[in-house]
Structure 1
Amino acid sequence: MNKTLGLFIGCFLLPVAAAITVLKFDLAPTSTTNYGRFLEQEVVLPIKSDDKMWSIVLNLPEHCEESCEVQRKNAEQLKVALGKHSQKVSVVLFDHEIAFSVLQSKQSTLAPAAFYLVDKHGLVVLEYLYQPNPESNRLVLKGLLKDMKKLLNYARSK
């Protein structure tokens, strides 16, 4: 066998062997850099994007009182905290009137008083659950802002 053919076969077999090793011995990295939680099932919300790249959606079901009021105030603060990115992101309140008229079953799959990152096609990407402790909830919202800025910077680099 000549040198070129051996090098060609080696360049093919080495990555395949490495991939099989990683999969067989479960050596894939398990940590992530996002602060939100990925949803386990696909949920598409009927959100109008208005030429916005992303939406931050607050789920406000019918039987949600104190936690929803706290999150409603946080949603107003998120609009301000987005700063220069507020032109690219919309903050949407997904309440029971909208859900009843559109798709109530989808709202029931979402956690009450939780924030969701939604792309311009309505696909829910990340979930940020409400924390009753104010300090923990502040950290969750801070993580949401970090994830949003990371997504916007990534989209800008394309």
Structure 2
Amino acid sequence: MSDIQKHKSRRNLLLVIAVFVLPIVLAKLALTQNWLEYGVTNKGTLVENQLTLQDLGISNTELDNMWLILYALPNDCNKHCEQTLLSVNNTLIALGKYKPKVRNVALYKHTLSNDQLSHLDHDEWSVIPSPNNQHLLIQESTVLLVDPLGNIILEHKAPMHVEEQAMFGKGILADMKKLLKYSKIG
């Protein structure tokens, strides 16, 4: 075998090895050096510490073991609060075929006015007093998505500006549709 043939054989061998090894090395570097963004598809924030309705002191059976969109009302339900109630209510309506599986829940600390109660259709909302320990576990003006087993999965912080309400409602809707579509429960 001539030197030229040996050189071509080595070059071909190195080329074949490079074709198989180079993608693995690049993939490893991409993962370790964070070259790629991780695909997050949820709009809300995932609740990392296990939190259930039972932890809040709420019985899930009185809520018919349904999917819940739970809104922890602030102490003073002002115009922003009323807009959030409207956004949550519109989200339930926009769920379409999934609507019978979902219930809106409002947790209140102080008695609501008749005007505020007018935003809460009693066929679609459960209005319950806020448990004493609720402020330790969840922030007020937060919308929580709860599965039929009572596990709190995602949270959405209510926006402070009216202009952000549309995107806020769309975020809750997208998360609820995704949860309902892929869920094996409820």
The residue number in structure 1 matching 2:129 is 98
**Aligned equivalents of 1:127, 1:86: Cα separation in 2:** 19
Structure 1 length as normaliser, TM-score?
0.69
Change (3 A) 1:118 1:144: same
Match status 1:38 vs 2:69 = no
The one of 133, 137, 151 aligned to 2:165 = 137
The residue number in structure 2 matching 1:88 is 101
Partner SS state of residue 117, structure 1: strand
**Aligned equivalents of 1:26, 1:94: Cα separation in 2:** 44
Change (3 A) 1:33 1:47: farther
Structure 2 length as normaliser, TM-score?
0.60
Measured after TM superposition, the shift of residue 47 of structure 1 is: 4.8
Aligned residues: percent identity? Answer: 28
The residue number in structure 2 matching 1:114 is 142
The one of 158, 175, 178 aligned to 1:147 = 175
**Structure 2 residues without counterparts, runs of 5 or longer:** 1-27, 110-127
Partner SS state of residue 116, structure 1: strand
Partner SS state of residue 129, structure 2: helix
**Aligned equivalents of 2:93, 2:146: Cα separation in 1:** 19
> Which of these two proteins has the greater Rg computed from alpha carbons?
2
**Aligned equivalents of 1:120, 1:156: Cα separation in 2:** 10
Partner SS state of residue 139, structure 1: helix
Partner SS state of residue 104, structure 1: coil
Change (3 A) 1:122 1:61: farther
CA RMSD of aligned residues (A): 2.8
**Structure 1 residues without counterparts, runs of 5 or longer:** 1-20
**1:144 counterpart letter in structure 2:** I
Q: Is the 8 A contact 2:80 2:162 kept in 1?
A: no
Measured after TM superposition, the shift of residue 38 of structure 1 is: 1.2
